[in-house]
Amino acid sequence: MRRALELAESALGRTWPNPAVGAVVVRDGLVIGKGATQPPGGPHAEVVALAEAGEAARGAILYVTLEPCSHWGRTPPCTEAIIRAGVREVHAATLDPNPKVHGRGVAQLREAGIEVHLGLCEREATRINEGFFKRVRTGLPFVTLKYAMTLDGRIATRTGSSKWITGEEARTCAHRLRDRADAIMVGVGTVLADDPLLTTRLPPELCGYGGPHHPLRVVVDSRGRTPARAAMLRRDTPGRTLVACTTLAPEDRRLAWQDAGAEVAVFAPEDGRVPLEALLRYLGDTGVNTALVEGGGTLHGALLDVGLADKIVAFVAPKLIGGEGAPAPVGGRGVADMASALELADVRVTQVGRDLLIEGYLRI
């Protein structure tokens, strides 16, 4: 199952709206087939693993990180492939939260005489697909706020200089987060200040399968200030871009974005801004399971103020820069007293080069 989990992780960012699943076929203690979910329309992990195993799958054991699907979608049910292959035993880490599948895949396999076990490495498997689980249950993607700051809590100097707060190892780690995300979100302030590409820049050996994956870029731009010549909108920039604006954005600017190849989502403004819950629901409706937010304090604070963030990933550099005008990673309204402070759960601290990586969940 550990190998199946590794395969599932290698598929993150590449399978949405489907979950990232890994599967391993074992016979006489040897792995004879393995697979990960392919991009939408391609085969699921179980089918890939069984195809690799071939006739040797008959009488073998299948380990899979999620309950096999039992319904027709873009591909046939995985349960049919498992039954047809003659597998004698299936270990599934967890049930699928999708009502079309939940428990039905297990029932079909058992009806066919296959021995089915549940719960092996369930916590790890659920964490890998925490975005899929949340979207299926709430309609919203799993939102991670990611930022790099100095030891005194600054994301740039008072003049706006921010390259580079962290070392190369931490920046590589940040790009690995992008490689695994379905979407990456920034505010228009970040676009105007940095003109970022928001692509994944990693060697293939550090990426999931298929080499670097470029998540859907989402720019939150209420009044239409993103230049049509922004770097991320260039035709030679890999990946897709979505600009989320309000009806306050000029029509000619919206058309310019579309002419540059961007998708545009227009919302009725709330207090003059893009309504963030409506935007996240829009992304969820398109199948986005995970959104990595790399904005500044304004966007981070706005998401925290309305309770839409699920996880924090903070890189902390052993540097002090001071300055009353130096920006912090979280703005917004904030809390009035310490008793109302947002506390993280399941916190993990890792040293990455000279920097610290602090991760924790705002809700479990």
Tell me what pLDDT residue 163 has.
87
**CA-to-CA dists, residue 98 to 68, 139, 218, angstroms:** 11, 12, 26
Backbone angles phi, psi at 333, to 5 degrees: -75, -40
The pLDDT, as a whole number, for residue 75 is 78
Which domains are assigned to the chain?
1-126 (3.40.140.10), 139-362 (3.40.430.10)
The pLDDT of residue 74 is: 78
pLDDT of residue 68: 95
The pLDDT, as a whole number, for residue 322 is 94
The share of the chain scoring above pLDDT 90, in percent, equals: 93
Phi, psi of 80 (to 5 degrees): -65, -40
**Which residues fall in the annotated binding site for substrate?**
162, 178, 198, 201, 294
Among residues 46, 115, 124, 169, which one is catalytic?
46
Give the 3-state secondary structure of residue 163: coil
Please determine, for residue 234, whether its predicted confidence score (pLDDT) is greater than 60: yes
Banded model confidence at residue 249, pLDDT cuts 50, 70, 90: very high
Position 72 pLDDT exceeds 80: no
Per-residue pLDDT tens for 112-154?
Answer: 999 999 999 999 999 999 999 999 999 999 999 999 999 999 9
Q: Is the pLDDT of residue 73 over 80?
A: no
| Residues in binding site | 44, 69, 78, 148, 162, 164, 178, 190, 194, 198, 201, 222, 294, 296-302
Average pLDDT of the residues of the chain: 95
Could you tell me the sign of the dihedral formed by the alpha carbons of 170, 175, 181, 186, in that order?
A: positive
pLDDT one-digit tens code per residue, 295-346: 999 999 999 999 999 999 999 999 999 999 999 999 999 999 999 999 999 9
Q: What is the pLDDT of residue 2?
A: 96
3-state secondary structure of 282: helix
**pLDDT value for 81:** 95
13-29 residue pLDDT tens? 999 999 999 999 999 99
Is 46 a known active-site residue? yes
Residue entry with tokens 């073998």: 60
Verify cis geometry, omega within 30 degrees of 0, for the bond prior to 164: yes
Q: Which two three-digit tokens encode residue 316?
A: 């902390």
Write down the pLDDT at residue 29. Answer: 92
pLDDT score, position 76 = 87
pLDDT of residue 100: 85
